[in-house]
Chains A and B, each alone.
Chain A
Amino acid sequence: MSDGLSAAAGERLPDDIVDAAIAWSVRLDYNAATPAAKQAFARWLDADPRHAQAWSRVAALRSDFSGLPARLAQEVLQAAEAGRRGAAAGRRRALRVLSLSGAALASGWAVREATPWQRLLADASTAVGEQRTLRLADGSVVMLNTDSAISSDFSGERRVLVLHRGEIMITTGDDAGAAAKRPFWVSTPFGALRALGTRFIVRLERSEVRVSVQEGAVEAHPADGGASVVIHSGERSTLGPAGTSPPVVADVDDDAWTDGVITGRDMRLADLLDELSRYRSGRIVCDPQIADWRVSGVFHVRDTDRALRFLTQVQPVTVRYRTRYWVIVEADRAG
């Protein structure tokens, strides 16, 4: 095939052959190819040397993109495009704000707890949209995600960190100051977690606590006295009233927030917006009609307005700001 290309690199091929090569590429490279399709393709490829030539050219187009950092490339290209279309899109959006529908507003509305009293009890806390990294006396490092609160007690025979609210990533230190390395525990309303290794994430929700282990392992002891479970590196598990879920392989992206982003891969739009709303005061309302749409991309949690803007660039959605604290995401009617 490559011989065909180099032999007559500049030759113009008939349109029908080029179109056929592209149709084959769509069938084989961008779809799950059946054995029958592969056989038919092999016959087509052999039928005419120009077929092979067209095919290798189409394959060369694909290689223009190989080796590029996908996330970076994706975002830069979409942002540049959006910048160019920005002025026109802004006008379209302004017009659509006028066609306001009340139905979407009422649904899904829930008032988030606005008085995080737990913070008053805590040694350290973050406000909505804030992230903080702390170094503890034993050398451990704790990163607090948005709207989180912890306190610590390292005076006894064990090191105990209490998660009152929100989400933390812990990288345990070697406790060099103590005579012997003391066990490290994270205490939550739904159970206690004993660190058997170095790095893990604990996220406290209303009705459960989620644990995701990046390095080492964590032993989870549910509050109801049920059997403990070991969660290994790369796994996640949930502790709640219903017990402890068996550890499953974690999304690689559980710790994306520590880099200031949410990475979505085929994520439900409503779930993505719920995630984003953790990082901003107020509410993001998702029109139920588009709640199940799937989205992928890298969304910046340190600038959620920007993340929403990015969303409008990669999805046919409109973001409306009723106020700074009340944002509505709905289908883009103009397409």
Chain B
Amino acid sequence: MRTVECELRREAEDLYRGHHGWLQGWLRRKLGDAMEAADIAQDVFIRVLTRQQPVRAHEPRAYLSTIARGLVIDHWRRRALERAWLDTLAVLPEAEAPSPESRALVLEALIEIDRMLDSLKPQVRTAFLWAQLEGLSCPQIASRLGVSLATAERYIARALRHCYALRFES
């Protein structure tokens, strides 16, 4: 175990020394923002450091950019959500808005849900959100979407299965 730890540490240091500058440049070109690029590069190496097994990557830059790409997508997702969040809060009636103390928590929950529902088809996603947030039943969803009851039920089942896999099987 100690040798594995040593190897991990050494590998991360090598990756950092050899490619950190390149990775930052790559991210800066993608994001157009040096500070964000630096933050995400940092996160990439945190991922590298917290692995259980050494990767012994033959193409270290391809390996690093794969991790970075995932983080960039997360970053954009978060940004899109934060923008939608601010837009919506600005026009929402006071009574509907969460208290200032709980805002950060609600936003985090929404980012998490958004990520969880990411790969679902739009109609499935919409049906599931209606069911979970508005408490709509399958017949109501079916009539709102103009689909059969069986289709609405399939949408909900598919979304539940997807969330289940992420929560309990990954």
Interface residues of A (CB under 8 A from B): 12-13, 18-19, 22-23, 25-26, 30-32, 57-58, 60-62, 64-65, 68-81, 83-85, 256, 259-261, 266, 293-296, 298, 300, 302-303, 314, 316
B137-159: contact bitstring with A at CB < 8 Å (1 yes, 0 no)?
11110011110000001001100
In the complex, residue of chain B having the shortest beta-carbon distance to the beta carbon of A25: B160
B144, A294: Cβ atoms under 8 Å? yes
Contact pick for A31, options B96, B122, B139, CB 8 Å: B139
Q: Which residues of A contact B92 (CB under 8 A)?
A: 71-72, 259, 298
The interface on chain B, measured as residues whose beta carbon lies within 8 A of the other chain's beta carbons, has a size of: 51
Cα distance, A31 to B122, chains bound together (Å):
22
Cα distance, A169 to B130, chains bound together (Å):
31
Shortest Cβ gap from A296 to chain B (Å):
7
In the complex, residue of chain B having the shortest beta-carbon distance to the beta carbon of A30: B138
Contact pick for A261, options B91, B98, B145, CB 8 Å: B91
Cα distance, A58 to B169, chains bound together (Å):
13
Contacts A22-B157, A26-B160, A76-B88 known; 17 new A-B pairs at CB < 8 A: A25-B160, A32-B137, A32-B139, A61-B160, A68-B133, A71-B92, A72-B98, A73-B133, A77-B110, A78-B126, A79-B88, A85-B122, A259-B92, A266-B144, A293-B146, A295-B144, A316-B146
Interface residues of B (CB under 8 A from A): 77, 80-81, 83-85, 87-89, 91-94, 96-98, 106, 109-110, 112-114, 116-117, 122, 125-126, 129-134, 137-140, 143-146, 153, 156-157, 160-161, 163-164, 167-169
Cα distance, A13 to B125, chains bound together (Å):
25
Cα distance, A312 to B114, chains bound together (Å):
19
A72, B89: Cβ atoms under 8 Å? yes
Q: Which residues of A contact B112 (CB under 8 A)?
A: 64
In the complex, residue of chain A having the shortest beta-carbon distance to the beta carbon of B153: A26
In the complex, residue of chain A having the shortest beta-carbon distance to the beta carbon of B95: A259
Cα distance, A37 to B87, chains bound together (Å):
44
Q: Which residues of A contact B143 (CB under 8 A)?
A: 294
- CB-based closest 3 A-B pairs: A259-B93, A79-B84, A65-B132
Residue of B77, B91, B143, B153 most packed against chain A (CB within 10 A): B91
A61, B164: Cβ atoms under 8 Å? yes
Of the A-B pairs whose beta carbons lie under 8 Å apart in the complex, a sample of 15, sorted by A's number, is A22-B160, A26-B153, A61-B160, A61-B164, A65-B132, A68-B133, A77-B113, A77-B114, A80-B80, A80-B81, A81-B114, A85-B122, A259-B94, A293-B144, A302-B91
Q: Which residues of A contact B156 (CB under 8 A)?
A: 26, 30
In the complex, residue of chain B having the shortest beta-carbon distance to the beta carbon of A62: B132
A68, B109: Cβ atoms under 8 Å? yes
Q: Which residues of B contact A65 (CB under 8 A)?
A: 113, 132-133
Shortest Cβ gap from A311 to chain B (Å):
13
Shortest Cβ gap from B94 to chain A (Å):
8
Cα distance, A58 to B161, chains bound together (Å):
9
Q: Which residues of A contact B87 (CB under 8 A)?
A: 79
Q: Which residues of B contact A316 (CB under 8 A)?
A: 145-146
Cα distance, A57 to B51, chains bound together (Å):
28
Q: Which residues of A contact B164 (CB under 8 A)?
A: 18, 22, 57-58, 61
Shortest Cβ gap from A87 to chain B (Å):
12
Cα distance, A83 to B122, chains bound together (Å):
13
